[in-house]
Chains A and B, each alone.
Chain A
Amino acid sequence: MYNPGSGQRFVILSIFTAVVIIFMIRLFYIQVVNETYSVSATNNVLRYITDYPARGMIYDRNGKILAYNQAVYDLMVIPKQVKDLDTAEFCRLLDMPIASFIEKMNKARTFSRMKACIFEKQISAKTFATFQEKLYKFQGFFVQPRTLRKYPNNTAAHVLGYIGEVNDALIAKKPYYRQGDYIGISGIEQSYEQELRGRRGVRIIMVDVFNREKGSYKEGIYDTIAIAGKNLVATLDADLQAYGEQLLQNKIGSLVAIEPATGEILAMISSPSYDPNLLVGRVRSKNYSQLLKDPLKPLFNRAMQAYYPPGSTFKLTNALVALQEGIITPGTIYPHSFVVGSKSVKCHPHPSIALEGAIQYSCNPYFCNTFRSFIDNKKFGSSENGYRLWREYQMSFGIGIKIGVDMPHELKGLIPSVEFYDKIYGRGRWKASTIYSLGIGQGELGINPMQMANILCIIANKGYFYTPHVIKKIDGKPNTSRNLDTKHFSKVDKQYFDIIQDGMQKVVEAGTARIARFDTVIICGKTGTAQNPHGKDHSLFVAFAPRENPKLLLL
């Protein structure tokens, strides 16, 4: 049959078909080939909400809380949803000047009109309580709970340290951290950051076009649960710490108390100190710069970060080393003076004495002589060899090395090497008489109070020490994170320590530290005074008690 319209029909059907084919090619491209749309859809709908775990708490050895978390509230705002706001009342409740309200609002608007951002950080629970009642009036605002570190006893600032928000440099170095995270910056907060911080959780939620929450993504199979930080038990005794801080008030100095039998640090005080709560929350940056500017350097932990010449206390190790090598015996008597060229080292008037008495009276000439006998001894071949051996011995007492205290910023101290003296005096052109002041703990020696306390531990333990530490238990289990139960032996044998302890007992009973004497407890002690080229002499007293089974060691 002839159909006059067949040509037209063909054209029309061709047009229909062509359009459909073009559509299908286009659909195939955007749906199957091009993947950017899937990414955009994901970005549209998914929000990654971080769940911040509670930071672990820190207790002292008796269960007193040293650090805990206080609930604070970040006030969030979604500018677009803010309607009919009574600005005056809002500002009054938050105690905020109108000008700063306007500024914050503008900042939030520039960030995004639709997305929530922090309007005011860390509102205290108290402010929040009154504010919350009126929150329903302020459309577009909501609060997000966060936690803030609190140090209820106001003590042990240097031991506990503080936390702060991470900066960009830190984020670049440690990829775990994100903007807004907190990290321990010093003290226990820093050294036990791993244990304290816990693990951040992430919830993935879906939101609609107005950013309203629409439930979890895929029933939460990609969510991770936040794991709270571990609680720590410190070795500190909060009362002792507070007492020590009181003693050192208005003085510059430090005090360390260690239990020799375990290496546990009972107190570590550096004075002047500060209130650890000053470096928390909103007031942190202001207070920090003030503390930093303080000429007395309250942020400086003198117990770990300061070098002091050990002074007379050093005579003890000096004697031990000489005893071990048989340079002296407890009965050795040296002349009552030590003469080098035109200089001579003299002593307090006292009878001619052997080692025990020399310790009791802190006899300088005696120990200079001991030092010289050691260094220049023929059996080592040269002063250089003698000194090298001597230094090795000293280092086995934890001098000039990091002893591994579980706190950040430990200084290793200074005990010059052979090369150091070669450089100054020339090779082979120095001997004991050049550097004799080392024998009495002066000269090029530097040692921090923690190390000094540790030396005393070795003496109290007669030959070994446990690494001093501030954390006893992690999450209820003994702290095994830092090899704390290993005995570190010095190179001096046990039998040589008795005579030293005898001398130290005499120091307290009848020597330079009679003031420290108690009738009920046998105390072994040693004073020290080291000349300070920068000003007044450093003075020092170290002690442990009771002599048998020592419990406490003070520096």
Chain B
Amino acid sequence: MRKQKSIFENIDWVLVGLYMILVLMGWINIYAAVYNEEHKNIFDMTQSYGRQMLWIGTSLLIGLSILVIEGKFYAAFSYPIYLTVIFILLVVLVIARDVQGARSWIEIGSFKLQPSEFAKFATNMAVAKYLSSLGIRMEDFKTKITVGLIILLPMTLVLLQNDTGSALVFFAFIFVLYREGLSQNVLIFGFFAGVLFILALMVPNTILLGIIGSLGLIAYLLMRKTRKNLLVIFMITVLSSGVVFSVDYAFNKLLQPHQRERIEVLLGKRSDPKGAGYNVNQSLIAIGSGGLTGKGFLQGTQTKYDFVPEQSTDFIFCTVGEEWGFVGTSVVILLFLGLLYRIIFIAERQRSQYTRIYAYGVASILFFHLMINVGMAIGLAPVIGIPLPFFSYGGSSLWGFTVLLFVLIKLDSYRIYILR
């Protein structure tokens, strides 16, 4: 096997280009979101936008470093990296201070880092490493259990940090597992469980159970009464009823009050535009008032004047919507869709199973962030505080996503040197 001539050899420039465009758009929108008359310079280090430039600069250095490192390194060091991150997550649990209810930050002097942003990347590596190992088949029960544990361990730790949003992101791996052979029934069941969950919150339990029972009965009457069919019908009916019964418990006992409220607002069961619904309401106003082409750069009053909370981080999409209108939001969403397509395209051209799984992981994580972040801003998802990749202000998240993406770029550039 020969060495690469240059670290830029075989680089996927489409991916790099999309990354650069998104990061720069993010920076400009952060500038507009928290624009301060007294600090007009976008490089002003006292403002978020000045610091974001610093994060972008360091991210590019990190990206470059990743390209410099030997491509084989990542597969080889997947487990050590994973274990290191797990260890750091444990440390965080012990030493971190409360920041808005979550204990997820490591502070070194004035420098703060959020390890959960790197947990996604590390977990992705570990999953890829494990599933690409010799003799591992997704159909095996042992495989399912092991990979489940690999994912659930960091997820639990992040959840313990009280960072629910970041923990939920780990559900994204379901796409990876599905691609690698997990039965589609899991996806379908997950989908129906979700629908049932929402229905259970909207419709009284007795009515819902009645509907489930009658559907089971109709299925029983219509289908051929083979042993297998009967078993399936019976299982589905029982499982559905189980979900319905557990929803009440899960909703009222497991969720925290503010999470309950946010879900109720989303489902329209609660109208509270000054309290629990304030964020979403103001976010909708910001995006909605943008119209077709937006109010123009720096003209967004909703975001600039702080009506939308967290306007440079979780609600950065509002600035896009308000200042650039439907045109702007469409461009951003389509850029993301393009990025996802490109990653899947890259994944499928790999000979290395590791790289393919890793690429699917990247796509799934990015997709999940996009879905929740934008969905929350436009009132289609509950308010879960996770950043919009490459856009939102914040060093940890930008570094995390940069590492995630650039490792993929490096692995991809190595594709012709790897036999499997």
CA distance A247 to B264 in the complex (A): 80
Is A206's CB under 8 angstroms from B184's CB?
A: no
Report, nearest first, the 7 A-B pairs whose CB atoms are least far apart: A37-B288, A208-B305, A41-B289, A45-B301, A30-B288, A209-B306, A31-B326
Is A207's CB under 8 angstroms from B288's CB?
A: no
Is A214's CB under 8 angstroms from B305's CB?
A: yes
Report the minimum CB–CB distance from B238 to chain A (whole Å).
Answer: 27
Determine the main DSSP class of A at the interface with B. Answer: helix
If A13-B341, A31-B290, A208-B306 touch, does A24 touch B333 (CB 8 Å cutoff)?
A: yes
Within 8 A of A (CB), among B293-317: 301-302, 304-307
If A44-B285, A44-B302, A45-B302 touch, does A31 touch B184 (CB 8 Å cutoff)?
A: no
Within 8 A of A (CB), among B143-193: 175, 178-180, 184, 187
Chain A contacts to B: CB under 8 angstroms: 3, 5, 8-9, 11-13, 15-17, 19-20, 22-24, 26-28, 30-32, 34, 36-38, 40-42, 44-45, 206-210, 214-215
Q: List 13 A-B contacts (CB under 8 A).
A: A8-B179, A9-B348, A12-B178, A16-B341, A31-B291, A37-B285, A40-B285, A40-B289, A41-B302, A44-B307, A45-B302, A206-B305, A209-B307
CA distance A214 to B289 in the complex (A): 19
Determine the main DSSP class of B at the interface with A. Answer: helix
Is B398 on the interface with A (CB-CB < 8 A)? no
CA distance A9 to B380 in the complex (A): 25
Is A210's CB under 8 angstroms from B179's CB?
A: no
B284: A residues at CB distance < 8 A: 30, 37
Is B371's CB under 8 angstroms from A37's CB?
A: no
Given A9-B344, A38-B289, 8 new contacts (CB under 8 A): A8-B184, A22-B380, A28-B326, A30-B288, A31-B325, A36-B288, A37-B284, A209-B306
A23: B residues at CB distance < 8 A: 333, 374-375, 378, 380
Is B334's CB under 8 angstroms from A20's CB?
A: yes
CA distance A402 to B334 in the complex (A): 78
If A16-B337, A22-B380 touch, does A37 touch B367 (CB 8 Å cutoff)?
A: no
Q: Chain B CB within 10 Å — which of A20, A26, A36, A210 has the most?
A: A20
B291: A residues at CB distance < 8 A: 31-32, 38
Q: How many residues of B contact A (CB 8 A)?
A: 47
With beta carbons under 8 angstroms apart, the residue of A16, A24, A27, A207 that contacts B287 is A27
Is A13's CB under 8 angstroms from B302's CB?
A: no
Report the minimum CB–CB distance from A38 to chain B (whole Å).
Answer: 4
A214: B residues at CB distance < 8 A: 305
With beta carbons under 8 angstroms apart, the residue of B287, B307, B321 that contacts A208 is B307
Is A206's CB under 8 angstroms from B179's CB?
A: no
Is B125 on the interface with A (CB-CB < 8 A)? no
Is B375's CB under 8 angstroms from A5's CB?
A: no
Is A31's CB under 8 angstroms from B287's CB?
A: yes
Chain B contacts to A: CB under 8 angstroms: 37, 175, 178-180, 184, 187, 282, 284-292, 301-302, 304-307, 321-322, 325-326, 329-330, 333-334, 336-337, 340-341, 344, 348, 360, 363, 367, 370-371, 374-375, 378-380
Is A44's CB under 8 angstroms from B288's CB?
A: no
If A31-B291, A31-B329, A36-B288 touch, does A5 touch B367 (CB 8 Å cutoff)?
A: no
What is the chain B residue whose CB lies nearest that of A41?
B289
Is B330's CB under 8 angstroms from A27's CB?
A: yes
If A37-B288, A41-B286, A44-B285 touch, does A11 touch B305 (CB 8 Å cutoff)?
A: no
With beta carbons under 8 angstroms apart, the residue of B175, B301, B302, B378 that contacts A27 is B378
A17: B residues at CB distance < 8 A: 337
With beta carbons under 8 angstroms apart, the residue of A5, A27, A38, A210 that contacts B329 is A27
What is the chain B residue whose CB lies nearest that of A28?
B326
Report the minimum CB–CB distance from A80 to chain B (whole Å).
Answer: 13
Is A45's CB under 8 angstroms from B326's CB?
A: no
A40: B residues at CB distance < 8 A: 285, 288-289
With beta carbons under 8 angstroms apart, the residue of A3, A30, A45, A210 that contacts B378 is A30
What is the chain A residue whose CB lies nearest that of B364?
A12
CA distance A209 to B305 in the complex (A): 6
CA distance A553 to B326 in the complex (A): 79
What is the chain B residue whose CB lies nearest that of A215?
B37
What is the chain A residue whose CB lies nearest that of B178?
A8
CA distance A23 to B378 in the complex (A): 8
Is B292's CB under 8 angstroms from A31's CB?
A: yes
Is A207's CB under 8 angstroms from B305's CB?
A: yes
Report the minimum CB–CB distance from A289 to chain B (whole Å).
Answer: 42
A207: B residues at CB distance < 8 A: 305
